[in-house]
Structure 1
Amino acid sequence: MRAGDLLRQLDQRLLPPLTRAVGRLNDRSARFGVLTWAALLSTAAVLGTAVWAADDTPVGDRTVGEVTRVGVVDGDSVPGYLRSAAADLAALPTAAPATGDGTYALVTLGAYLPPQRLAAVLGDVPVSTVFGRVPLPGRQTEIVKIPALRVPDDVVAGMEQVAVRKDTEAADYRARAAAVSGDGAAERELRERYASGAGVAAAEAAAYRTGCACVYAAVVRATPGVLRGVAARPDVRAVDPAPEVYRLDRTVFTPPLPEQHDVVRPPADSGPTPDPTSDGRGEPAPVSPAPMGESSEPAPVVTIPSPEPSSVEPTEPAPPTVATSPDATGSAPLAPSPS
């Protein structure tokens, strides 16, 4: 009931009896006392209605729109970040948090690892997600976030889903390249860029389908003692604890890449990096050379569909549909994104 309706009902019930009482009283002091009481009762009714209306207003989630960020951003010092993460890990209290579920942490690996190697590094620790990308020499590749509650099974399944999506992406680029008509310089450049994008997508699909060495970070949740044990493992570069994180759907994790050693900047995959795109017959998948002037910065993080839950689940499981992180804009290979 609205406050106005309640006040109208009070007026209808209280005022007529009071008016009749005033009419029957001839004594001036009696009339004054009745009017005083009427005023007090009306004031109390108004105040009570206002308090009731205020208490009845639903309170929304005050944390909506807030995003917690864990990791690095462009321009950060990588050695500084590693020292800070180590100090934060050492400063964690030995006792487990009051929730008993442990502390979320971002585990950064020293190299790109295949799914089976993850079992030795993270197999006994509850994992939420892993981060991966295909390190192609001289090329930009997409960073993917794969929900992985069971390592390595969920990682392998997630890579297969990414491979299917990349096959579709490559076919779309090829179709767009074929649809470009004309023989001018602009048309040739556009066809080359579409063909380049198709080559990168095809190489990524081939790599993920064969379970490539592409995983470089993971989000885990464990007690401080377990996290310190993970930090001491050979393939682990850093464990960055995030006790402030309670909801994964409002947290952005940005781990440094294995090739970033001094300052966080867009990576340039080059040098003798092993080619992870073998098609199983010893022949690498075709990749067009990078056009001049193209950035080698990886594309934004893209989350693939979540796998079926297992007995070990984080507090906030990954969403069941394709989504980007709060600071991502979607999949964007090196060539122009299809529209």
Structure 2
Amino acid sequence: MLKLSAGELGMNRPLWLKTERELVPLGGLGEHVATGQCLRGGKETPIQPANRTQVLHTERACGGVEKPCLFMHPPYAGGVGYAFAAYRLALPAGAKAALRCSIGKADGGDRGDGIAFKVAVVAADGKETLVAQRQWTEFAWGTLEADLSPWAGKEVTLKLIADVGPADDSSADWACWADLRLESLTPQLRTTLHERAVSLRRRPGPHAAKASLDELRKARRAVLHFEGIGLQNGPPYVSQALLNQVPLGDLPSAGGDERKGVWTGGQLPLPPAALAELKVWNTLAIRNPGRDNFAVRNFWVEFELSDGRKVSSEITTPAYRQPPAWPHGEGTGVPFERDIELEIVACGN
């Protein structure tokens, strides 16, 4: 309660404090300082048109989902190698930072042997350290994360590298970097002040047992739970879920009762590919190409471990609805042109 007084005048105003664990934004990529290429066995040079190398900002679709991105194609004429873009930035001294982004192979063309996405840090003394890499063959978006905490408080150069695959096959190596951001390496406690009563975005799941992230990835069964109103599962109204860009399949019907505000539970098994990509902090996306009108909330994952124990993620409580003008659902309105996106925090170490 905030109390103000001035002589005989006074005012009482209720305020609410909310403290939650969140990934904290730490800024952008810094100053762009270079683009270039390197032929296999050679030295880095500026981009040579004769080698057909490309590095540019544009929009590309991966798996049918278009995003603004940094697009690269490694050199392929007169030799193969890698393309890169470099950024100079000062990492914060008081926080452990991570680079997180989406990576993808643009739609069309041959699958080939994929693209090697790499992130390197160049220190002030010129020492270059590879901090993340991922071989990517899918015409879809994936994720990449790089731990930058060893350079906290220092000025470094960050290099984003797109190399050809292990067989040096440059076919359709259309490399896309999107959603590039610096964040805290781990979730941090964050306190916010509100003028109205608020609820926590996350609450503990029903199973109190703890497990490591490795144990969760090796679970013999995992199921996504949620609640819905108006969600259908029949042509043309079929929506899909993706966890960390890995397709989970079609969401089941969760119709509830729109007029009475009754929510219905739904479940969707996680495939092995989604378990393999599991992180402590995960992104769930819901795609609604049929433009169904619905609302969803209370997402969590139940894990059945190899020893029979059951473990749950935290429950992500906020509600989301499509479209924003739909009168029967509560929560944040999301336009049809955008995916519904939310975080699910696994309870692994």
TM over 0.5: no
Structure with larger RCO (C-alpha < 8 A, sep 6+):
1
Relative to total residues, which structure has the larger strand share, 1 or 2?
2
Structure-1-length-normalised TM-score: 0.22
